[in-house]
Amino acid sequence: MELYFLGTNAGVPTLQRNVTSIGLRMLDERRALWLFDCGEGTQHQILSSPLKLSKLEKIFITHLHGDHVFGLPGLLSSRAYQGGTTPLTVYGPPGTERMIKTTMELSQSHLNYDLNIVEHTGGIVFEDDSFVVEAALLEHRIDSYGYRVTEKDRPGSLDPAKLAAYGLKPGPLFGRLKRGEPILLDSGETVRPEDVLGAPKRGMVITILGDTRPCANVQPLALNADVLVHEATFMHDLADTAHEYYHSTSIEAAEAARAANVGQLIMTHFSSRYKDEEQLQPLLEEAKSIFPNTRLADEHQLIPVVHREQDSSPSD
């Protein structure tokens, strides 16, 4: 899995940064792309990226402020022209369906693929055999949600020595064991998957938060995540401003990462008062003083998701 930031600015785009949209590319896991938010200009950003709308499977909307959704009608309308004809599901807070359907109706846009819209107020919003996605309400001026994406543990690798002990050779039986099915040998002996598989491979956990100021639901969403994507709209000298406008500072993002025992913190959603990377460095330095494994989100750069080092418990 890899994260790709299509926009990292708060409120309005600048010449250096676009507004919020984050891609989660899962080519190995399900040959799919998921998007989190779709600010104005997202489809244009995708044209300059390695992401493919033909792979787009799901869009998760954190909240309905314009810098997070104004790119949605255009992307949905033109997706098919970029090879996207498979079904697409959009998840979002109440009002998402009305916004999309009203825009499509008034613009007389016609989609040649199935579009499903799922509104939610938190809880498990999606689950299949491989992934579960949970949402929880954050604290913002309108309802804003964070998402926790959990990849379910996968079976371990087949152990060649154990397979040889049963006289098993490469073939279809290997696939059945990998799928969790027991097999019956000619001798009448049953071989169970756990007899020949190594330890399960732990799945990844990625937490992506919408706009928020510090609140109680951040920690359960982020607990022991491999990666936490957290807004850091302001430096901490503007903590009062951040609180007034329902945003977070770099130090507050770092404190959340430390409390939740995450592997890596990626900060995004920067105020346009910070014009370039040089002006963003103080935010990074503030956060790293609290949580060293912090980075700034870079637009148009793939960031591999890696397992966090195992630890006993969150910090106090």
Judge whether 298 is annotated as a binding position.
no
Q: What pairs with residue 232 in β-bridges?
A: none
What pLDDT score was predicted for residue 98?
Answer: 98
Residues with Cβ within 8 Å of 291's Cβ and at least 6 positions away in sequence, in order, are 254, 255, 257, 258, 265
What pLDDT score was predicted for residue 271?
Answer: 97
pLDDT averaged over the chain?
Answer: 94
pLDDT exceeds cutoff 70 at 225: yes
What pLDDT score was predicted for residue 314?
Answer: 52
Catalytic residue among 37, 67, 143, 226: 67
Count of CB atoms situated within 10 Å of the CB of 249: 27
DSSP state, 174? H
DSSP state, 60? E
pTM for this model (two decimals): 0.90
Residues with Cβ within 8 Å of 187's Cβ and at least 6 positions away in sequence, in order, are none
Q: Which residues of 124-137 are buried (b: 16+ CB within 10 A; e: fewer)?
A: ebbeeeebbbbbbb
Judge whether 67 is annotated as a binding position.
yes
What pLDDT score was predicted for residue 312?
Answer: 44
Contact (Cβ atoms closer than 8 angstroms) between residue 253 and residue 287: yes
Judge whether 236 is annotated as a binding position.
no
- The beta-carbon contacts of 22-28 under 8 Å, at least 24 apart in sequence, are 22/208, 22/229, 22/268, 23/49, 23/51, 24/149, 24/206, 24/208, 25/1, 25/50, 25/51, 25/55, 25/302, 26/1, 27/55, 28/1
Count of CB atoms situated within 10 Å of the CB of 116: 11
Confidence of residue 316 (pLDDT cuts 50, 70, 90): very low
pLDDT tens readout for residues 78-129: 998 888 899 999 999 999 999 999 999 999 998 999 999 999 999 999 999 9
Confidence of residue 315 (pLDDT cuts 50, 70, 90): very low
Judge whether 44 is annotated as a binding position.
no
How far is the first Cα of the chain from the last one, in angstroms, to the nearest whole number? 30
Provide the token pair at 106.
């008034």
Q: What pairs with residue 134 in β-bridges?
A: 124, 148
- The beta-carbon contacts of 274-278 under 8 Å, at least 24 apart in sequence, are 275/14, 275/16, 276/16
Contact (Cβ atoms closer than 8 angstroms) between residue 299 and residue 255: no
Q: Name the amino acid, one letter, at 255.
A: E
Q: Name the amino acid, one letter, at 181.
A: E
Judge whether 120 is annotated as a binding position.
no
What pLDDT score was predicted for residue 171?
Answer: 84
Supply angle C-alpha 64, 76, 268, rounded to 5.
Answer: 45
Average pLDDT over every residue of 30-43: 97
Compute CA 227 distance to the chain's CA centroid, rounded to the nearest angstrom. Answer: 9
Verify whether residue 67 is a known catalytic residue: yes
Domains of the chain: 2-154+201-304 (3.60.15.10), 160-196 (no CATH)
What pLDDT score was predicted for residue 4?
Answer: 98
Helices (H), the chain: 27-30, 42-47, 66-69, 72-78, 96-106, 160-165, 172-178, 193-196, 218-222, 239-244, 250-260, 277-290
Judge whether 300 is annotated as a binding position.
no
